Structure 1
Amino acid sequence: MTTRQDCLALDARDELAPLRALFDLPDGVIYLDGNSLGALPRATAARVQQVATAEWGRDLIKSWNTAGWIDLPQRIGNKIASLLGAGPDELIVADSTSVNLFKALSAALDLAQRDTPGRKRIVSERFNFPTDLYIAESLARQRGFELVLAEADEIPALIDDRLAVLMLTHVNYRSGRMHRMEETNLAVHGAGALVVWDLAHSAGAVPVNLKGSGPRAGAADFAVGCGYKYLNGGPGAPAFVWVHPTITARMDAEQLWQPLSGWLGHAAPFQFTPDYHPAAGIGRFICGTPPVLSLAALECGVDTMLAAEAHGGQPALRRKSIALSELFIALVEARCTGHGLTLQTPRDAAQRGSQASFARADGGYPIMQALIARGVIGDFRAPDILRFGFTPLYTRFIDVWDAVEHLVQVLQTGEWRQARFNQRAAVT
């Protein structure tokens, strides 16, 4: 079994190790929750301060032009696009993941109603992230569609001539299971339907190629994602939306709108015309005024991802992600036997995102609270999931070893049974 000394040796050889210095990580904390909120990049505080005091405080409204505020959604969007196999001016940063999903799924349903009007079925995974299911349920009610939920293994059988839109999260937030994107796109397009992807637990964590490796049939149609997880954009960071350029070209030609036709998605917003004319391409998917302070923070986070290109890039990030999660799983299963922990994450690394989840029918929440009190920060997902995320930009192999050591002690001593760890907080 791997020893603590082995982990220190792995860290010494880690090609990504220099990137940890890009983050302001608290002493004495092992942070395994970057899949919920990425750590603070060192550059962020100074950049936000600059925007607040100089660009806003001194230059005031002039900064929309002089500091390029108006271009931030597309500028940052192009940076994120480069991480996801998308091209320039195909992805825009705007709003929240939920709002962008509403826009993307609405547009997909519009296209489906035009092309296959007899199809009234939206399919998704039963344990997809709740906001995705709530948005889909709302749109199904409004549009007269049927929302069908299934286990991940049942999805292929539902890709048939009744399907209008398949909506999936690429990496499941609970289990960490990762869908095969290109294979799924080919199946959905072969059935004459459309696919919408949520990349909340993928962007910045696992390699993503939205356009596929071959013909258009293997590419995605729509994708959304958030900026505050592996992209390290800060709490509540703006999200993004991507639409395949053949679809935006069709929307241009057929004058198809997305449902939230806000003023900045207008073709000429500063002409202030009373009627709406959508901007060309992805520009129509922006809605309201960009949140400049939040965008400044997000750009710093995205830049930490781009910095990895000088250290092996996405392949190196993926190799380390797999190594970290495999080490964690092996150590937990070797050292925590007899304590009721059951692996929920796929053992096959090709089917796994950058996390490991264990279920415990009794005591999952207080166990996580006891770990957090010790400085090992993961999170709990109801009803029984202890979830640990591995961000290869700053997570070390020694962090994995020490985290499991704390878990062993929490379980063996039974300290999780203390009353203070059993009091539910508002956020778990």
Structure 2
Amino acid sequence: MKLAIIGGGSTYTPELVDGFARLREQLPVEQLALIDPDPERLEAVGAISRRILAKQGHPGQVLATANPAEGLEGADAVLFQLRIGGQAARNVDETLPLDFCCVGQETTGAGGLAKALRTVPVVLELAEQVRKYAPNARIVDFTNPVGIVTRALLDAGHDAVGLCNVAIGFQRRFAEGAGVSPSEVELDHVGLNHLTWIRGARIAGEEALPRIIEEQGSEIAGSLEMPQQVLRDLNAIPSYYLRYFYEHDAVVKHLRESESRAEQVAAMERQLLEMYRDPTVDTKPELLSKRGGAFYSEAAVELISSLTNPAGEADLRVVNMRNRGTLPFLADDAVIEVSARVSSTGIEAVPQSPLPAHMRGLIAHVSAYEELALDAAIRGGRDRVVQALLAHPLIGQYDLANRLGDALLAANEKFLPWAVAR
């Protein structure tokens, strides 16, 4: 198998490579193509990737290239992990909205819209390269905002599925707590990307979520930075990103008093790249665990293995996919994040029992925003940007949407040719 990674110079990549080496029986990667326009990153990440494979006795070859045609040629699967504008643009996404008393976050709210505006056009251009040079490849998108980017790819006719590591993190956590293998934990996971709830967790065939909430609720709530009572009241475990909705004002206050996550990550990336350049380093550094993306490699290996397994056996995975009636209150072409049966022949969502009104309402509201955000990212236009902000439940005021929209466009002009001429 040949696997291509667009954005292969990311500091995340050694995490992936370590997973490919450890899980080679599940996903036999013969050639790994790292595609990235940054020569310094590409050299450093390519070098440590080769050392990691060699250290673990993996026979796979690593190709590091800035040429998409070379990297994509003959690929069986392509993983997208891009960050247009790097941590500097992310820092703006996280800090500029705070000036308007809105949450600053790279995928949620105004920052998420700015990231979508920068990212979607680039992803679509690169996806056309995939269509040209690897027409049979499956595209797996890990690029945020995953829901919006995945919908852009699907709307353009690409064979794509979105991936997030939130669900696998909970699966691994529950498995460890129960002393079972992760394959024995099945999640009832539902919502939109970064707007999800776990409504059930079957462990060895038995429903365990009520017990998990009672026995581990305090620890889980602490990691989510929410009160434990939230889990009890919802009878579900919300993703970390729900705190931006459930505790918006408190989060804004905290963020205004803190160093941005982008600044923290930028410092980590500088250290990681120095480590990657060290020819004696042949394992992924411990610092990488603080970068984020826990279990990213396992999630990617599992999903790509299911998508490419010639036996066609279906595996239960949590993915971003077309709604197609799964949530009846959304349009069929909306993209949702749910548990699904995934195989080389297709992806079928697990049927969902009716959602409580508070979940339905928030999902529908944010899904409508995502539809408008994608339209703005593809067609441009100040009015479309303002409409998307107006539709977002964390913004939703006319004057605020206009002022915030103008500020976002001014801050992102170099990434948005149409914004300069507005």
Both proteins in one fold, TM over 0.5: no
Relative contact order, higher structure (CA 8 A, sep 6+): 1
Taking structure 2 as the reference length, what is the TM-score of the superposition? 0.33
Which structure dedicates a bigger proportion of its chain to helix? 2
